[in-house]
Amino acid sequence: MRQTCLGKSTETVKTLTHPSRVRVARRLHAPPRDGRWRKSRSGYGLGDVAVRPCWSSECFSKVFRKRGESMERKATAVWRGDVKSGQGSLSTESAVLKETQFSFRTRFENGIGTNPEELLAAAHAGCFAMALSAQLGMANFTARRLDVTATITLERVGEHHAVTKSHLDLSAQVPGATRQAFDAAVKAAEIGCPVSKLFRAAISVDAHLDAASAAT
């Protein structure tokens, strides 16, 4: 009996017995009663499989590989003037940010507006929260609430500035979760979060599991 991933997505993934082929089945959440998939027109079928729900990056990467698909998100920056007295604006494709101002003062002092590091912190916190929710789901837990704060450190390295750290503070309410299962999910999310993979920086997590919520 071979175990394979089945993603909770519009299109779900199964591994073929033929090593060079991957077949994508739509909304297929359990094997036939006899445990065998019939031959497809291509002549390749699925052997005996045990199916488990899966939100793993491997599962989703197979879905994207199916047609060479990828996701793209866009943001636009406009800057006018020199670096210290100039002004910039940021806009996102979703229009959540629309000509949001940023400047030297908003980045290195306390001016009104946003800055790249603040946006990186938001991206990392949001990505990690979703990744952790997925990992907990794989362990059959559903988070009641995940509070994540990301702190990005920008410092001078040699002649230039660099983002050197991203620290995540997590407070979680996860009914029924054991500390061992929770820690394993946190570690997997820390490593697997796509934004974590983007950073060339030290990433750390302080995770607190609410004991009262875990007991319920």
Local confidence band at 210 (pLDDT 50, 70, 90 cut-offs): confident
Q: Is the pLDDT of residue 200 over 80?
A: no
- One-character DSSP codes across the chain: -EEEEEESSSEEEEE-SSTT-EEEEET--S--TTS-PPPPTTS----SEEEEEE--HHHHHHHHHTTT------EEEEEES-TTT-EEEEEETTSSSSSEEEEHHHHHS--SSB-HHHHHHHHHHHHHHHHHHHHHHHTT---SEEEEEEEEEEEEETTEEEEEEEEEEEEEE-TT--HHHHHHHHHHHHHH-HHHHH--SEEEEEEEE-HHHHT-
Q: Are residues 142 and 184 in the same domain?
A: yes
Q: What own/partner pairs with CB < 8 Å and gap ≥ 24 does 24-28 have?
A: 24/62, 24/63, 24/66
Q: Are residues 6 and 57 in the same domain?
A: yes
Q: Are residues 95 and 30 in the same domain?
A: no
**Least trusted range by pLDDT, from 56-70, 97-111, 135-149, 176-190:** 56-70
> Which two three-digit tokens encode residue 12?
């779900």
Q: Are residues 207 and 158 in the same domain?
A: yes
Residue 97 has a CB neighbour count (10 Å cut-off) of 16
Could you report the per-residue pLDDT of 3-57, keeping only the tens digit for each? 334 344 333 333 333 333 333 333 333 444 444 444 444 333 333 333 333 445 5
Tell me, what's the pLDDT at 206? Answer: 85
Between the CA atoms of 125, 130, 131 and 134, what dihedral angle is there, to the nearest 10 degrees?
A: 160
Local confidence band at 129 (pLDDT 50, 70, 90 cut-offs): very high
Q: Are residues 143 and 86 in the same domain?
A: no
Q: Are residues 106 and 87 in the same domain?
A: yes
Q: Are residues 176 and 199 in the same domain?
A: yes
Domain's final residue, options 43, 65, 87: 65
Could you report the per-residue pLDDT of 45-99, keeping only the tens digit for each? 333 333 333 445 555 454 445 545 688 889 999 999 999 999 999 999 999 999 9
Q: Are residues 33 and 108 in the same domain?
A: no
Of all residues in the chain, the percent with pLDDT exceeding 70 is 66
Number of folded domains that form the chain: 3
Domain housing 88: 72-114
Q: Are residues 61 and 109 in the same domain?
A: no
CATH number for position 175? 3.30.300.20
Q: Are residues 79 and 58 in the same domain?
A: no
Q: Are residues 124 and 42 in the same domain?
A: no
Contact 77, 114 (CB under 8 A): no
Q: Are residues 13 and 31 in the same domain?
A: yes
Local confidence band at 183 (pLDDT 50, 70, 90 cut-offs): very high
